[in-house]
Amino acid sequence: MKLSYDQIDHTAAFFCCHIETDEPMKRHTTFQIGGPADRFYTVETSQQLAALLNALVQAEIPYLVLGKGSNLLVSDQGFRGAVLYLSGKFREVKSLGDGAIRAGAAASLASVCAFARDNGLSGLEFAWGIPGSVGGAVYMNAGAYGGEMKDVVKRVESLTPEGKTESFFGEALDFSYRRSRYTGKEEAVTFAEFQLEPSSGAQIAGKMEELMGRRKAKQPYDMPSAGSIFKRPEGAFAAALIEECGLKGLQVGGAQVSPKHAGFIVNTGGATCANVLALIEKVQETVLREKGISLECEVRVIG
């Protein structure tokens, strides 16, 4: 069934949102993979986002709220729905005083980490180098090197599919390993507040550079990927299991298990979604057969 975007386009135009038709999603994901989205709306304010969410729900049109696209694998056929690409106010980062920072969902983690460092606030060093946005990081409780979003996020603002603003604190955010109250739900994260601790800017910078050095030495930082592809199984590490099964460097089309870090699948050039999914399946089947452990995919597959 062909979806009608007339009313959505009218709403987007009324609220001065930029509209693209059949926009290739490979331009907007860190994997550099993905076919065209029916509509691609650039949204800069909460008012615009609320209006479009409400219109899309009324029209029963699927939608995807997008920041940096760092944990997404989009179908080669694209997305039959509307992408709401966050920009403008959603990229802003500001100080609230007393060690608190407020950041929009589309602000890159790099920009928030740099802001914290420049303001002598410690706690986000672990996130330096995670190639995602605040919204995506909250959605999946992103973490690395012993730190997680749950350690520093104190409050999150979001919009319901009907465009209602909500706010959640502390335990209500329901953070756990690679999950939050937003995981698998349709609420759109809009802003997050971080509570950090005063420290020396030089010490913070030193820690950030140390972790970045470790990241670059061990991970395929210079190649398109969606980050870590599998969740950590209980009592083991996905990358170690994959490497022990001799799967480093295994390739399907342009998709490859990184020779540098077996926990990553990289796009060596021209990889398709089908290539990546076939490679994921091969890895899962081999690890299950040889190690008796089921690897769960961490990346969101869209379309």
pLDDT above 90 (res 243): yes
Mean pLDDT, residues 165-193: 94
6-88 under CATH 3.20.20.70, yes or no? no
pLDDT bucket at 2, cuts 50 / 70 / 90 = low
Amino acid in position 113:
C
Other Cβ atoms less than 10 A from the Cβ of 9: the count is: 17
Predicted local distance difference test score (pLDDT) of residue 116: 97
Is 178 annotated in the active site?
yes
pLDDT above 70 (res 53): yes
pLDDT tens digits, one per residue of 5-28: 999 999 999 999 999 999 999 999
pLDDT above 70 (res 63): yes
The per-residue pLDDT of the chain, averaged, comes to: 95
Other Cβ atoms less than 10 A from the Cβ of 119: the count is: 15
Sort residue 109 into left (φ over 0), alpha (ψ -120 to 50) or beta. alpha
Other Cβ atoms less than 10 A from the Cβ of 91: the count is: 18
pLDDT above 90 (res 117): yes
Contact 67, 131 (CB under 8 A): no
CA-CA distance, 301 to 27, in Å (whole number)? 16
| Domain-wise residue ranges, the chain | 6-88, 92-204, 220-302
CA-CA distance, 36 to 296, in Å (whole number)? 27
pLDDT tens digits, one per residue of 253-297: 999 999 999 999 999 999 999 999 999 999 999 999 999 999 999
CA-CA distance, 250 to 237, in Å (whole number)? 18
Q: Catalytic one among 186, 193, 298, 300?
A: 298
Q: Catalytic one among 122, 178, 180, 187?
A: 178
CA-CA distance, 197 to 39, in Å (whole number)? 42
pTM: 0.93
Mean pLDDT, residues 59-83: 95
Q: Give 3-state DSSP helix, strand, coil % of the chain, rounded to 5.
A: 35, 30, 35
pLDDT bucket at 189, cuts 50 / 70 / 90 = very high
pLDDT tens digits, one per residue of 156-167: 999 999 889 999
pLDDT above 70 (res 109): yes
220-302 fold: 3.90.78
User: What is the domain class of 92-204 according to CATH?
Assistant: alpha beta
Strand runs labelled E in 15-133: 18-24, 36-43, 63-66, 72-74, 79-86, 93-97, 100-104, 121-122
Q: Catalytic one among 70, 158, 180, 228?
A: 228
Contact 14, 55 (CB under 8 A): no
Is 298 annotated in the active site?
yes
pLDDT tens digits, one per residue of 87-98: 999 999 999 999
Distances in Å between the Cα of 220 and the Cα atoms of 129, 228, 240, 260, 267 are 12, 10, 16, 6, 10
Predicted local distance difference test score (pLDDT) of residue 55: 94
Sort strands 300-302 and 188-195 into parallel, antiparallel or unpaired: unpaired
